[in-house]
Amino acid sequence: MSLDHYVTLGRSGLRVSPFCLGTMTFGEDWGWGSSVEESTRILDAYLDRGGNFIDTANAYTKGHSEKIIGDHLGRHSAKRARTVIATKFFSNMYLGDPNGGGASRKSIVAACENSLRRLQTDYIDLYWMHAWDVLTPIEETMRALDDLVGSGKVRYIGFSDTPAWKCAEAQTIARFRGWAPLIALQIEYSLLERTVEGDLMPMAREFDLGVTPWSPLKGGALSGKYRRGVNAEPGRGTRVTAALTDKTYDIVDALAEIADGLRVTVSQVALAWVLARPGVASPILGARTLAQLDDNLGALDIKLTSEMVQKLDALSTPTLNFPARFLEYMGQVSQGGTTVNGMPSDPWPLLPATDAERY
For residue 71, which of 25, 35, 34, 118 has the smallest C-alpha distance?
118
Phi-psi region of 237 (alpha: psi -120 to 50; beta: other; left: phi over 0): left
Residues 170, 138 contacting (CB under 8 angstroms): yes
Q: Using only the alpha carbons of the chain, give its radius of gyration.
A: 22
Could you tell me which residues come within 8 angstroms of residue 122 by beta carbon, excluding any fewer than 6 positions away? 116, 152, 153
Alpha-carbon distance of 45 to 65, in angstroms, equals 17
CA angle 179, 182, 10 (to 5 degrees): 130
Q: State yes or no: is 123 an active-site residue.
A: no
The one catalytic residue among 6, 46, 60, 189: 60
> Can you spell out the DSSP letters for 226-282?
--TT-----TTTHHHHTT-SHHHHHHHHHHHHHHHHHTS-HHHHHHHHHHTSTTB--
For residue 43, which of 35, 32, 54, 33 has the smallest C-alpha distance?
54
Across the beta sheet with 182-186, what order do the strands follow?
A: 210-211, 182-186, 154-160, 124-129, 84-89, 53-55, 20-22, 284-285
Residue 172 host element (H or E): helix 164-177
As annotated, the active-site residues are: 60
